[in-house]
């Protein structure tokens, strides 16, 4: 894990104990910090007690696991419950604990700061609210010499992040990808000198970050998304642009929508960038020609991903031969137009990563006859972003919180629809209806949190359902 003396002796409250929260607690304790941890889920609170003692961290600081030889921590206030084992972590709700004297409240990106009371309570105490990416930024001075690539945008972040990482590995450069993809960044072992951290950054993560100075900062596109977390679309776009306000390195921007062009224009004027705006690289999908040699990078949406990834690799000093090789053998991402199996002549495709309609459009465009499974927590109340692709939809199968909404919208457009409710029901109904040569596509156009932990869990469930069909 990433351990840094910069955290030693500091006090942190960690709210949210999913993967990134647990990694944050472990890294802070291993660094010698005093931590108050909390989650609304009692099972996650209990899991803090089962974390192993830190290894390779600061000797003599205690651990998180119970057992002989560990002393109980001293409660920081009457509201805190002592945790067995370890002298530097306690359980306590930061909405109750006196935050005076804390250095920061570290929250999960899933905590809606526009609605959650922790934002106001921390502000009243003069305590910053940050995320694990900001902690990584603060720890960078303790790490071997390295560079950081930060990649944001509404769609294509995961593919572009994974592709940049793959191009670096192909070139023999030590690399690690994290942030909104893969394992939590604080839980990873530091790279050796010369390594490159490639971070996928959602707007939520950027909102919780203050000092991440990227050597290469990337913006792919900006389309309406997450509007439940922002006052309006302009506020969401401004969140993406903040990446450049923190960064003094090269800026790579795909200038193919009004919002990204506006960010690029501001940087060209020297506005909104941590330096004078130099080092701006503008890219377009049209920069990429024939894609036929890249099996996992087909389609116009991937042309933008490739154009950006090539620009990033070149900015990092990558050679053309390694870039060409990496594009050819890039394997693609799980849960993104992933071909799961062909059963009875019907292809089943897992595109669970498509969490908004704009992201779903390329998947619908890729197949002429689609049985489309969609739904979850809706981010928009319409299907305008996929209107041009709806002619490919043979039938729809609506699931989750937005099942009624999407069943109505598809019916209004004359598309047969099953209001399935659950993924299992939808897959069963699609299997009955689909004919050889057609495709059953899970591309929900929605977030997963109404029924699943995340889009990966949703995609895994789809894989399992399809796997159960195999003879």
Strands 129-130 and 104-107: parallel
Helix 455-467 with 423-433: angle, nearest 10 deg: 40
> How many Å apart are CA 251 and CA 149, to the nearest integer?
10
Is 466 exposed, middle or buried (CB count within 10 Å of its CB: 0-12, 13-18, 19+)?
A: buried
Active site residues: 157, 180, 226
* 306, 163 Cβ separation under 8 angstroms: yes
Residue among 455, 462, 468 nearest 158 (CA): 455
Q: CA dist 231 to 326, 333, 396, Å?
A: 41, 32, 32
Q: With 0-12 CB in 10 A as exposed, 13-18 as middle and 19+ as buried, what is 52? A: exposed
Q: At what angle do helices 233-246 and 258-268 cross, to 10 degrees?
A: 40
Strand pairing of 175-179 and 146-152?
Answer: unpaired
With CA atoms as reference, report the closest residue to 147 among 320, 309, 312.
Answer: 312
SS3 263: helix
C-alpha closest to that of 316 among 290, 289, 291, 279: 279
């Amino acid at each position: 894990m990433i351990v840094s003396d910069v955290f030693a002796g500091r006090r942190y409250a960690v709210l949210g104990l999913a993967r990134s929260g647990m990694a944050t607690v472990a890294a802070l304790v291993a660094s010698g910090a005093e931590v108050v941890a909390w989650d609304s889920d009692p099972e996650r609170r209990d899991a803090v007690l089962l974390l192993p003692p830190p290894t390779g961290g600061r000797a003599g600081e205690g651990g998180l696991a119970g057992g002989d030889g560990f002393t109980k921590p001293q409660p920081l206030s009457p509201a805190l419950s002592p945790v067995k084992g370890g002298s530097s972590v306690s359980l306590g709700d930061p909405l109750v604990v006196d935050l005076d004297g804390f250095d920061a409240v570290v929250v999960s990106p899933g905590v809606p700061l526009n609605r959650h009371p922790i934002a106001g309570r921390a502000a009243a105490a003069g305590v910053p609210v940050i995320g694990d990416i900001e902690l990584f930024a603060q720890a960078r001075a303790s790490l071997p010499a390295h560079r950081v690539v930060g990649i944001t945008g509404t769609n294509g972040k995961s593919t572009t992040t994974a592709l940049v990482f793959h191009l670096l590995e192909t070139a023999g450069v030590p690399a690690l990808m994290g942030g909104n993809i893969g394992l939590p960044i604080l839980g990873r072992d530091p790279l050796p000198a010369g390594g490159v951290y490639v971070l996928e950054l959602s707007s939520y993560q950027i909102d919780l970050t203050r000092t991440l100075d990227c050597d290469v900062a990337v913006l792919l596109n900006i389309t309406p998304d997450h509007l439940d977390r922002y006052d309006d679309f302009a506020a969401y776009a401004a969140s993406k642009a903040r990446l450049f306000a923190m960064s003094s390195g090269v800026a790579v921007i795909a200038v193919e929508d009004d919002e990204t062009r506006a960010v690029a224009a501001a940087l060209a004027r020297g506005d909104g960038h941590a330096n004078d705006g130099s080092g701006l690289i503008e890219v377009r999908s049209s920069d990429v020609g024939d894609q036929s040699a890249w099996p996992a990078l087909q389609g116009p949406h991937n042309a933008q991903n490739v154009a950006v990834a090539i620009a990033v690799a070149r900015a990092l000093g990558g050679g053309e031969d390694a870039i060409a090789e990496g594009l050819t053998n890039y394997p693609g991402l799980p849960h993104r137009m992933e071909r799961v199996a062909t059963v009875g002549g019907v292809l089943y495709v897992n595109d669970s990563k498509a969490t908004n309609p704009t992201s779903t459009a390329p998947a619908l465009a890729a197949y002429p006859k689609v049985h489309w499974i969609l739904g979850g927590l809706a981010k928009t109340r319409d299907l305008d972003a996929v209107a041009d692709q709806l002619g490919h939809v043979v039938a729809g199968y609506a699931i989750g919180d937005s099942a009624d909404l999407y069943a109505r919208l598809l019916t209004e457009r004359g598309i047969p629809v099953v209001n399935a409710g659950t993924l299992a029901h939808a897959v069963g109904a699609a299997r009955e209806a689909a004919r050889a040569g057609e495709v059953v596509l899970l591309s929900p156009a929605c977030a997963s949190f109404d029924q699943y932990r995340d889009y990966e869990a949703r995609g895994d469930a789809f894989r399992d359902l399809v796997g159960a069909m195999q003879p």
